[in-house]
Amino acid sequence: MEAEIRSLPRIGEKAPSFEAITTKGKIKFPEDYKGKWVVLFSHPADFTPVCTTEFYAFQKRYEEFKKLNVELIGLSIDQVFAHIKWIEWIKEKLNLEIEFPIIADDQGKVASLYGMIHPEKGTNTVRAVFIIDPEGIIRAILYYPQELGRNIDEILRMVKALQIADKHNVAIPANWPNNEIIGSKVIIPPAKDVEEAMKRLEKIKKKELEGFDWWFAYKEIK
């Protein structure tokens, strides 16, 4: 199999569309996931220890993802029977059933569309994560080396933060919701002209708005 290595799709672009065979049957993306957030992630190979810990962690948080209207889709360049045997092993040995689909990308077509092929590792896919919104737009991309397993709680946090940013037109501070300066509060976009900046400063002085300056105001989201 000679998969074409392509550059990464970019944040803000439409996620590339594809059809694929998975452990849950054939899927057509993004049509089958219209109105849903999607976390599409690749792993180097089935029956590998780091990947097994990642799939276990994703499944343990699957209900949390679904509460956020998120569906998970895994992928590697393995045939579907290898995926099936692997998830059977996880169920038997680790007492956990993997409920989300895993793409059998044995021809590397989806991986090449998303730039998931590791350039130094032959046909292996890297540990890539694409967070895709209900409009099919790529909102975030994460890449991890093969030797480092992903932090699934961080992926959950990113989805929550993106949804809040969209809903309330705000920005999210570092380490939210445990930011060292403003805690769980979120950042109001900076003023766009002098008049608005002066009005915002006045509101901050009168304690009508929380903030340090016109460009750094914040609020609690309830």
The model's pLDDT over 68-96, given as tens digits with 9 standing for 90+, comes to 999 999 999 899 999 999 999 999 999 99
Pairing of strands 102-104, 70-76: parallel
The model's pLDDT over 99-128, given as tens digits with 9 standing for 90+, comes to 999 999 998 999 999 999 876 666 678 899
Give the catalytic positions in this structure.
Answer: 51
Predicted confidence (pLDDT) at residue 29 exceeds the cutoff of 50: yes
Question: What are the domain boundaries of the chain?
Answer: 18-150, 169-222
This prediction has a pTM of 0.93
Quick check: do 18-150 and 169-222 share a fold?
A: no
| Average pLDDT of the chain to the nearest whole number | 94
The model's pLDDT over 200-219, given as tens digits with 9 standing for 90+, comes to 999 999 999 999 999 999 99
Assigned token pair, 185 = 């509060």
Predicted confidence (pLDDT) at residue 3 exceeds the cutoff of 50: no
146 vs 135 pLDDT, higher one: 135
CATH code reported for the domain at 169-222: 3.30.1020.10
> What is the number of other CB atoms lying within 10 angstroms of the CB of residue 112?
19
* CATH class label, 18-150: alpha beta
Contacts of 67 (CB under 8 A, 6+ apart): none
Q: What percent of the chain has pLDDT over 70?
A: 94
